[in-house]
Homo-oligomer: A and B are copies of this chain.
Amino acid sequence: MVDTAVSTAPSASRTSAAGADARIDVPAVTDLLLGTWKEIRLEAREMIADSAFWRIDGLSHHAHRERVLDQTRLLAQHGAGGRAYPVEYGGMATNGGNLAGFEELVLADPSLQIKSGVQWGLFGSAVYQLGTKSHHDRWLRDIMDLRILGAFAMTETGHGSDVAAIGTTATYDPETEEFVIHTPFRGAWKDYLGNAAVHATAATVFAQLISRGVNYGVHCFFVPIRDANGVFLPGVGGQDDGVKGGLNGVDNGRLHFDRVRVPRENLLNRYGDVAADGTYSSPIASPGRRFFTMLGALVQGRVSLDGAATWASGLALKIAITYGNQRRQFDNGAGETVLLDYAKHRRRLLPLLATTYAQAFAHDELLVKFDGVFGGTADTDDNRQDLETLAAALKPLSTWHALATIQESREACGGAGYLAENRLVTLHQDLDVYVTFEGDNNVLLQLVGKRLLGDYAAQFKGKDARALAAFAVGETADKIFHGAGLRQLGQAFADLGSTARSVEHGLRADDQQQLLTERVQRMVADVATRLRPSAKMSPADAAALFDENQVELLEAARAHGELLQWEAFTDALGRVDDAGTRQVLTWLRDLFGLGLIEKHLAWHLLNGRLSTQRAAAVSRYIDRLCARLRPHAQDLVDAFGFAPEHVRAPLASGAEQDRQDEAAAYVAALAASGDAPVRERKPAR
Give chain A's interface residues, CB within 8 Å of chain B.
1-2, 11-13, 57-58, 60-61, 155, 157-162, 165, 167, 184-188, 191-192, 208, 210, 213-217, 241-246, 280, 285-287, 329-334, 336-337, 341-344, 347, 403, 407, 410-411, 414-421, 424-426, 428-429, 432-433, 435-437, 440-442, 526, 529-530, 539-540, 542-548, 550-551, 554, 598, 601-602, 605-607, 612, 615-616, 623, 658-660, 662-663, 666, 677-680, 682-683
Contacts and interface: CB of A to CB of B under 8 A. Distances in A.
B442 A415 contact: no
Contact of A287 (B213, B546, B680): B680
Given A57-B242, A60-B60, 7 more contacts: A1-B526, A162-B330, A186-B662, A191-B415, A217-B680, A242-B420, A411-B441
Contact of A543 (B61, B332, B545, B550): B332
A334 B666 contact: no
Nearest to A330: B162
Which of A192, A243, A285, A546 has the most chain B CB within a 10 Å cutoff?
Answer: A243
Nearest to A427: B245
List 8 tightest A-B contacts by C-beta distance, closest first: A245-B425, A333-B539, A601-B602, A285-B683, A243-B420, A332-B543, A187-B659, A215-B677
Given A187-B662, A407-B403, A550-B344, A286 B682 contact: yes
A530 B410 contact: no
B161 A329 contact: yes
Contact of A540 (B334, B403, B545, B612): B334
A2 B341 CA distance: 44
A663 B187 contact: yes
A160 B415 contact: yes
A187 B437 CA distance: 42
Each complex incorporates copies of this chain amounting to 2
Contacts of A287: 679-680, 682
A550 B155 contact: no
Contacts of A11: 544-545, 548
Contacts of A161: 329-330, 414
Contacts of A188: 663
Nearest to A191: B415
Nearest to A544: B13
A479 to B, nearest CB: 22
6 contacts: A187-B663, A214-B679, A245-B410, A245-B418, A287-B680, A606-B615
Contacts of A529: 2
A334 B543 contact: yes
Nearest to A549: B343
Contacts of A334: 539-540, 543
B215 A679 contact: yes
Contacts of A215: 677-680
A239 B157 CA distance: 44
A162 B329 contact: yes
A271 B442 CA distance: 56
A417 B440 CA distance: 12
Nearest to A210: B677
A433 B418 CA distance: 7
A433 B437 CA distance: 26
Contact of A526 (B2, B245, B336): B2
A416 to B, nearest CB: 8
Nearest to A441: B411
Contacts of A428: 245, 432
Given A58-B60, A547-B342, A160 B677 contact: no
B155 A415 contact: yes
Contacts of A546: 332
A330 B161 CA distance: 8
A343 B426 CA distance: 33
Given A160-B415, A329-B160, A530-B2, A216 B186 contact: no
Contacts of A550: 342-344
A16 to B, nearest CB: 10
Contact of A214 (B210, B436, B526, B677): B677
